[in-house]
Structure 1
Amino acid sequence: MTHPVVSEVTARVVERSAETRAEYLRRIRATARHQIEQGGPARGRLACANLAHGFAAAEPEDKRALIGRAKPNVAIVSSYNDLLSAHQPYRDYPQALKHAIVRAGGIAQFAGGVPAMCDGITQGRDGMQLSLYSRDVIAMSAAIALSHDLFDGALMLGVCDKITPGLLIGALSFGHLPTVFVPAGPMTSGLPNSEKARVRQRYAEGKVGRAELLEAEAASYHSAGTCTFYGTANSNQLLMEVLGLHLPGSSFVNPGTPLRDALTAAAGRRIVELTRADPTPIGEIVDEKAIVNACVALLASGGSTNHTMHLVAIARAAGIALTWDDLSDLSAVVPLISRMYPNGEADVNHFHAAGGIAFLVRTLLEAGLLHDDVRTVAGRGLSGYTREPVLRGDDLSWQEGPATSLDLDVLRPASAPFTPDGGLQLLSGPLGRAVIKTSAVKPEHRVVSAPAVVFDDQHDFLAAFSAGTLDGRDFVAVIRYQGPAANGMPELHKLMPALGVLQDRGQRVAVVTDGRMSGASGKVPAAIHVTPEAALGGPLARVVDGDPITVDADGGLLDLHVDHDAFVRRPSTGRAPRGPEWAGTGRELFAAFRATVGSADTGASVFPGIIAPGQEVRVVQSA
């Protein structure tokens, strides 16, 4: 039986989305119906010159298949580059997938690549200001790849922070196509994440040098595959599986292993099956129940705060109106059942070994916290995702995953969780609305009342820390003009080692920002994604040094203890970067994004979402 709060949230999402979801389904069903009426693949309707362009470089056998209508043609869209460890394994996937697809009776073409940048590389650099925008660039790139009208299905190859959400948003714009997401898996465990964090903090204190820091970082990030901590990249993979877009149990299998190769081939075979007798379009899979399932899985696993924006944007792309209030209400009843760094000592490999997604899905289904009656690429029903893949010789099969956790320090049943709530809290008050991740914050640090220290740039905060001006006092660091419309909402994770040092010294500290803190948000309370943002006249623009602020993660409060009438009469102080300050490193190319991007709570997207007949298009934030 479904938990009453899950049922209530799902019902209101359905009701709120009625017009936009109906319009989305009308569009994709009309496209699919037209294709059926035409008697075959979309490429059969292309003029001869169009089709000839589409197969000019193909091998003779593939040309014959593309001219005919018997074989489904699958688009492969990839985020491969050899700069990023998570995407380097995709180098050999296209040929492997093509081989599997041909053997299954289809054909495939590499339709296009999408950009893939790394927050870990750009952390604290100007390039980070392009990171969030890259999600929508990736969505548009995926749509361009699919725009040639040659395809009957698609395979999406992507892993990390903005790449997977971008690919999904792009795929949903072609929601009539069956689509399977193909993961690449995490790197094997290296230096424990907690030890890496300890060295970072010692470096911030000046107790170790750059050589020691680099040695620790390199021992942690050491090979092909995703980083092993549970940040946005690995949250992406878990969510794709719970959305039913991965094959069961495929998310956290390491690259370069026989099982990984077998799962990749299986994805190629499966997409061919999905295009045939009973096509399963991605736009039908990603429905209201699937979106709620993704929210529950994010909360139960202690996943990335970035998904408070990504899930909203993904839902909008499918005509579904998801809000922060929905996430907050679910968080109150969804227990935290996983401890992965930064919420614990384990990494994703330990989580996978403890029972992984198969056990997580099983226990959440048993608790009534997930909807089983959804469509997936593996077939109907999320209960199919309690299975895990097994390779016996060359034969890949699926068997039921563990019925009990194999390591209760890492993964627990919903009946005996680490905490009774999901560790993600919505804050509201005079300073606006914000999100705070509490799963890694100790209870004694979850309420901080202290004077504000205000910075318009993260580097100014770090300079103040280095100068010692933040020592020996409690404070709430307000880091503003970091929102989507100000400078692209960069991740501010470089603040965490310094703040951790001060907290460990006994100071009571917290952060309030309209920027991001990433999936690696740690032990210091951080009210992030504050909306409306300072650059658009939000209250943060009027905060000055010394203003008393309370960050209350337990009570859901972001409070300012200043006379309201006096506060609203204050002029804005500080300012967002402009002109030459927002140029270089490619940033000037994204001026149109800054002018049109939506607010954090609506997905921080430049896309308006599905517009139902009679609705007004709104894409610009309002203060």
Structure 2
Amino acid sequence: MVSPHRTLTEVTRRIVERSRPTRQAYLARIDAAQGRFPARGALSCANLAHGFAGLEGTEKIAIKAMREPNIGIVSSYNEMLSAHAPYKDFPDIIKRAARESGGIAQFAGGVPAMCDGITQGNAGMELSLFSREVIAMSTAVALTHNMFDAALCLGVCDKIVPGLLIGALQFGHLPTIFVPAGPMTSGLSNDEKAKIRQQFATGQVGRDALLEAESAAYHGHGTCTFYGTANSNQMLMEVMGLHLPGSAFVHPHTPLRDALTAAAARRVLDLTVERGAYTPIGHVVDEKAIVNGIVALLATGGSTNHTLHLVAIARAAGIVIDWDDFDALSQAVPLLAKIYPNGKADVNHYHAAGGMAFLMRNLLEGGLLHEDVTTVMGKGLSRYTEEPRLVDGQLAWVPGPDQSGDTKVLRPIGEPFQPDGGLRLMQGKLGRGVIKISAVAPEHRAVRAPAIVFDSQEAVQAAFDKGELKRDFVAVVRFQGARANGMPELHRLTPLLGVLQDQGFHVALVTDGRMSGASGKVPAVIHVSPEALLAGPLGKVRDGDTIVIDAERGILDVEIEDAQWNARAVEAPKHQAENEVGFGRELFGVFRAAAAPAEMGASVFGPLPTFVGEPAEHSIHATKH
């Protein structure tokens, strides 16, 4: 076995030490639950009768007799999202497989699933981040009936998987497997789609051409094929041992996908107390699994949204991580994949080139993953270097490739695209934030230019339309944090700034908001904390201030004398009231008021858990190393 990389070992040690009080408290809570739940005998006869009243035939008899283990299905199925539409048929597949394996499955509950691709640039995006919390609570509601011995979570996209996982971890005593639906087949290339978006932004093509391009790219069932948050989610669930091996990127509505779905039902039954291989999810998601997730995110150039989501997921399991951990690992983890927006390939090309099995094999060979973890397949990650096949109609796993099928898309550990993971912690007078530079050309990674200050992305659009942005500048877009307006993705800005960069201008973005999980070629320092609404330093920036961004060195600064900077007042938001009403935003006021800073996951569930010494006011940087 290869010795773990020194940085992997050191970062994990820090996390274990920092998390000790809260992790121990979490494990004690779920271990205590295992002795009492899901003992359906603890339910009164009336309780139990309600629990199986909706069933028929043998399932009702089995639950009434309390003989066979029962799987709770929690699904994000809806017809609005191409990625989640395939889940319509999954419960029937799962129930049939459970019956054949001597178990039972009940549809425990559904969770909402919204699509950022639909709501980008609209008021609905201000509900997006906090939909993660709603999904977590909905998962808890689905599982709280104490009728289940195990769970299957069906979800794919941006906030859905993190929400399902945060909710499932509150029932950490239950064995749980995540069941993906897979990506859609490849359509119009992501590169061509981006080009037409930029042409539309400059008036070169009309809306009819734009809609035709978008329809050709997003054309059927399955996840969007670029490597944004949705596909980063699927990669993470596999690396963290919560998927069946090789299941992340198999297309929906194929015999192999259906076989994997049935196999998930059979496997989760094996993990129950009754079957003898008891493996609760709270023990699968530990400090090493979280570190493995960060490593794989960096090695594949995954979504910046996971500098929020992984933090929130970890805290739900009593584990405390911060951006220093991401930054330290990024210095040691090479970039092994180039998937759009980091390259021209989509996730189908990545999967065909060797996909997860090849990635896992190489990271293990480089000592960059903890092999000695618990997964839903048992002890160790070796099974995740295999990939599924149908052999004579039966599901089997075979060794994954030991060579890349396309080195323009996926490379071995000894020949990376770049020596680091491309994610940087940025800090200075303007606070702390993150930048993803794996898609940014080296010549654009350092920008020194005057600030133009905006309080909304609509204001940036208006200035662009008036021709006011044809110059070198740094767009400072503030009051976009979780407390201000729910931290919407500012995806509308990507094509605008891309056009200006292509015209030869030195441009960048600095914001306390989010960008797309497919953050692109323009340098963007995002999630800047503390946010402007909480008197963060972005509120001090004025038009014309010289902003300095150096992604290679992690610098986020403003050129101004300290005395003058310290004396400058923080400006108040001009349009705050508009972010509080309409499109359901009133219902989310409680979330905005309770949101923790970005570096703590922007979660409303804090301080659950907290750790010794964490300030009650939720400091932006909880611990120094």
TM-score (norm 1): 0.97
Equivalent position of 2:15 in the other structure: 13
Equivalent position of 1:167 in the other structure: 164
Equivalent position of 1:42 in the other structure: 39
Equivalent position of 1:288 in the other structure: 287
Work out whether 1:216 is the aligned partner of 2:185.
Answer: no
State the AA in 1 paired with 2:464.
Answer: F
Cα deviations by residue, 1:240-269 (Å, 9 ceiling, x for unpaired): 000000000000000111111111111111
Cα deviations by residue, 1:86-143 (Å, 9 ceiling, x for unpaired): 0000001111111101111110110000000000000000000000000011000000
Work out whether 1:547 is the aligned partner of 2:545.
Answer: yes
CA shift for structure 1 position 378: 1.2
Following the alignment from structure 1 to structure 2, what is the Cα–Cα distance between the partners of residues 580 and 216? 33
Secondary structure of the structure 2 residue equivalent to 1:34: coil
Equivalent position of 1:330 in the other structure: 329
State the AA in 2 paired with 1:477.
Answer: A
State the AA in 2 paired with 1:198.
Answer: K
State the AA in 2 paired with 1:319.
Answer: G
Cα deviations by residue, 1:436-480 (Å, 9 ceiling, x for unpaired): 000000000000000000000100001100100111x11000000
Cα deviations by residue, 1:536-584 (Å, 9 ceiling, x for unpaired): 0000001000000011101100011011221222222240643354211
Structure 2 gap segments, 5+ residues each: none
Call closer, same or farther: CA 1:223–1:574 in 2, change over 3 Å: same
Call closer, same or farther: CA 1:583–1:621 in 2, change over 3 Å: farther
Equivalent position of 1:357 in the other structure: 356
Equivalent position of 1:4 in the other structure: 6
CA shift for structure 1 position 619: 7.2
Following the alignment from structure 1 to structure 2, what is the Cα–Cα distance between the partners of residues 605 and 613? 15
State the AA in 1 paired with 2:143.
Answer: L
CA shift for structure 1 position 612: 6.9
Call closer, same or farther: CA 1:611–1:464 in 2, change over 3 Å: closer
Work out whether 1:454 is the aligned partner of 2:453.
Answer: yes
Query: Which residues of 2 match residues 69-108 of structure 1 at below 5 A?
Result: 69-108=66-105
Following the alignment from structure 1 to structure 2, what is the Cα–Cα distance between the partners of residues 593 and 150? 30
Tell me if the contact between 1:355 and 1:411 (Cα under 8 Å) persists in the aligned partners.
yes
Structure 1 gap segments, 5+ residues each: 36-40
Equivalent position of 2:296 in the other structure: 297
CA shift for structure 1 position 83: 0.6
Equivalent position of 1:405 in the other structure: 404
Equivalent position of 2:426 in the other structure: 427
Cα deviations by residue, 1:582-622 (Å, 9 ceiling, x for unpaired): 21100111111111000100000000254479888947677
Following the alignment from structure 1 to structure 2, what is the Cα–Cα distance between the partners of residues 22 and 33? 17
Call closer, same or farther: CA 1:312–1:622 in 2, change over 3 Å: closer
Call closer, same or farther: CA 1:135–1:172 in 2, change over 3 Å: same
Query: Which residues of 2 match residues 530-609 of structure 1 at below 5 A?
Result: 530-575=528-573, 577-609=575-607
Equivalent position of 1:491 in the other structure: 489
Tell me if the contact between 2:143 and 2:171 (Cα under 8 Å) persists in the aligned partners.
yes
User: Aligned Cα RMSD in Å?
Assistant: 1.4
Equivalent position of 1:417 in the other structure: 416
CA shift for structure 1 position 393: 3.0
State the AA in 2 paired with 1:298.
Answer: L
How many percent of aligned residue pairs carry the same amino acid? 63
Which segment is superposed worse, 4-13 or 574-583?
Answer: 574-583
Given candidates 170, 191, 195, the residue that maps to 2:192 is: 195
CA shift for structure 1 position 326: 0.4
Following the alignment from structure 2 to structure 1, what is the Cα–Cα distance between the partners of residues 136 and 120? 22
State the AA in 2 paired with 1:556.
Answer: G
CA shift for structure 1 position 221: 0.3
Equivalent position of 2:468 in the other structure: 469
Call closer, same or farther: CA 1:209–1:391 in 2, change over 3 Å: same
Secondary structure of the structure 1 residue equivalent to 2:35: helix
Following the alignment from structure 2 to structure 1, what is the Cα–Cα distance between the partners of residues 596 and 289? 24
Tell me if the contact between 1:597 and 1:620 (Cα under 8 Å) persists in the aligned partners.
no
State the AA in 1 paired with 2:76.
Answer: S
State the AA in 1 paired with 2:34.
Answer: A
Given candidates 506, 523, 526, the residue that maps to 1:525 is: 523
Work out whether 1:260 is the aligned partner of 2:257.
Answer: yes
Work out whether 1:56 is the aligned partner of 2:58.
Answer: no
Equivalent position of 2:498 in the other structure: 500
* Number of corresponding residues: 617
Cα deviations by residue, 1:15-58 (Å, 9 ceiling, x for unpaired): 000000000000001111334xxxxx421210001001111111
Tell me if the contact between 1:486 and 1:577 (Cα under 8 Å) persists in the aligned partners.
no
Which segment is superposed worse, 260-269 or 601-610?
Answer: 601-610
Following the alignment from structure 1 to structure 2, what is the Cα–Cα distance between the partners of residues 576 and 122? 23
Following the alignment from structure 1 to structure 2, what is the Cα–Cα distance between the partners of residues 577 and 57? 49
Tell me if the contact between 1:317 and 1:609 (Cα under 8 Å) persists in the aligned partners.
no
Work out whether 1:32 is the aligned partner of 2:29.
Answer: no
Tell me if the contact between 1:123 and 1:492 (Cα under 8 Å) persists in the aligned partners.
yes
Following the alignment from structure 1 to structure 2, what is the Cα–Cα distance between the partners of residues 589 and 69? 40
Following the alignment from structure 2 to structure 1, what is the Cα–Cα distance between the partners of residues 328 and 611? 30
Following the alignment from structure 2 to structure 1, what is the Cα–Cα distance between the partners of residues 336 and 51? 49
CA shift for structure 1 position 62: 1.5
Tell me if the contact between 1:139 and 1:166 (Cα under 8 Å) persists in the aligned partners.
yes
Tell me if the contact between 1:426 and 1:434 (Cα under 8 Å) persists in the aligned partners.
yes
Call closer, same or farther: CA 1:195–1:586 in 2, change over 3 Å: same
Tell me if the contact between 1:429 and 1:559 (Cα under 8 Å) persists in the aligned partners.
yes
Cα deviations by residue, 1:345-396 (Å, 9 ceiling, x for unpaired): 0000000000000000000000000000001111111111000000023200
Cα deviations by residue, 1:122-167 (Å, 9 ceiling, x for unpaired): 0000000000000011000000000000100000000000000000
CA shift for structure 1 position 59: 0.6
State the AA in 1 paired with 2:27.
Answer: L
Following the alignment from structure 1 to structure 2, what is the Cα–Cα distance between the partners of residues 300 and 609? 30
Tell me if the contact between 2:18 and 2:611 (Cα under 8 Å) persists in the aligned partners.
no
Query: Which residues of 2 match residues 382-397 of structure 1 at below 5 A?
Result: 382-397=381-396
Given candidates 505, 508, 511, the residue that maps to 1:510 is: 508
Following the alignment from structure 2 to structure 1, what is the Cα–Cα distance between the partners of residues 576 and 468? 28
State the AA in 2 paired with 1:383.
Answer: S
Tell me if the contact between 1:607 and 1:619 (Cα under 8 Å) persists in the aligned partners.
no
Following the alignment from structure 2 to structure 1, what is the Cα–Cα distance between the partners of residues 10 and 217? 43
Which segment is superposed worse, 266-275 or 606-615?
Answer: 606-615
Call closer, same or farther: CA 1:574–1:339 in 2, change over 3 Å: same
Tell me if the contact between 1:249 and 1:389 (Cα under 8 Å) persists in the aligned partners.
yes
State the AA in 1 paired with 2:451.
Answer: A
CA shift for structure 1 position 68: 2.0
